[in-house]
Amino acid sequence: YSPLPITFSQEYQTAQFERMRQLDMQPIHGFNRRD
């Protein structure tokens, strides 16, 4: 198999999540919601 794309890395996902919060994109609902 080929290596996973960079978008699967924990650092990338965390940075994307923080960017979504800063831009006030769609609210996050559910058990994983962080306030």
CA distance linking residue 12 with residue 29, whole number of Å = 21
Q: How many CA atoms lie within 13 A of 26 on its CB side?
A: 3
pLDDT digits (tens, 9 = 90+) for 1-35: 789 898 899 999 999 888 888 877 666 666 655 55
What pLDDT does residue 21 have?
A: 80
What pLDDT does residue 31 have?
A: 62
Contact 7, 13 (CB under 8 A): yes
What pLDDT does residue 11 have?
A: 94
What pLDDT does residue 35 have?
A: 55
Domain carrying residue 1: 1-34
Which residue do the tokens 């831009």 mark?
23
Q: How many domains does the chain have?
A: 1
